[in-house]
Amino acid sequence: MSSTSIDDLLAFEEEAAPTGPQARPSRWGPVLRSLAWAAALVAVLLVGLRAVGLQVSLPVLIAGVLAVLAVRRVTALLAPPPPPPGGGRVGTGEEDGSYNWGARDALRSAINRWEWPLDWSSSRPERFTGTVLPRLGELADERMRLKHGVTRESDPARARVLLGERLWTFLETPPRRTPSPRDLAVIVAELEQI
């Protein structure tokens, strides 16, 4: 058996803060490391190519390896930062009730899925007809399917009655101009009543 007590296992000792000035990292370190990698790759490629009987000019091989390493370095520098780790939200006490519009969450994503196409279609009606109108039609079909077991395709006559003449006409005949926000609000309210 071990002679470690539970107090020893649960003890916590803080690490001492580093004293003295921190050594400043050298600018030559990454350069020398890259050159060492390049030399190693050139040597391996040279031996490998000679082993299979291929002759390649040494300057061309060095230039190729340096180009590949340079591209790798540039793409690593330009890569987007990793996404924040997922996980539960940590409560910090009582919230002030305001919405954090800068945060990434499902509500903002859902709003953007509708906001962007609506914004795009404000100046070009064909974008509304090609992007937003099919989504509204899918939404109407899904609501009717869930509540009444029909879609516009499966039973057009019953779907027309359920949707109402105004909503049916809106979904079946593309409008010539993009509807105003007030008209869209009325359409969405009618969709919600299905």
Residue 155 has pLDDT above 70, yes or no: yes
- Helix (H) and strand (E) counts for the chain? 9, 0
* 127 Cβ contact partners less than 8 Å away, ≥ 6 residues apart: 117, 120, 121
Lowest mean pLDDT among 68-77, 84-93, 162-171: 84-93
Average pLDDT over residues 130-144: 85
What's the pLDDT tens digit per position in 90-134? Answer: 555 566 667 666 666 666 676 666 666 666 666 777 777 887 788
Band (87; pLDDT cuts 50, 70, 90): low
Cα–Cα distance measured from residue 184 to residue 120, given in angstroms and rounded to the nearest whole number = 15
Report yes or no: 62 and 38 within 8 Å, Cβ to Cβ. Answer: yes
What's the pLDDT tens digit per position in 27-44? Answer: 788 888 888 999 999 999
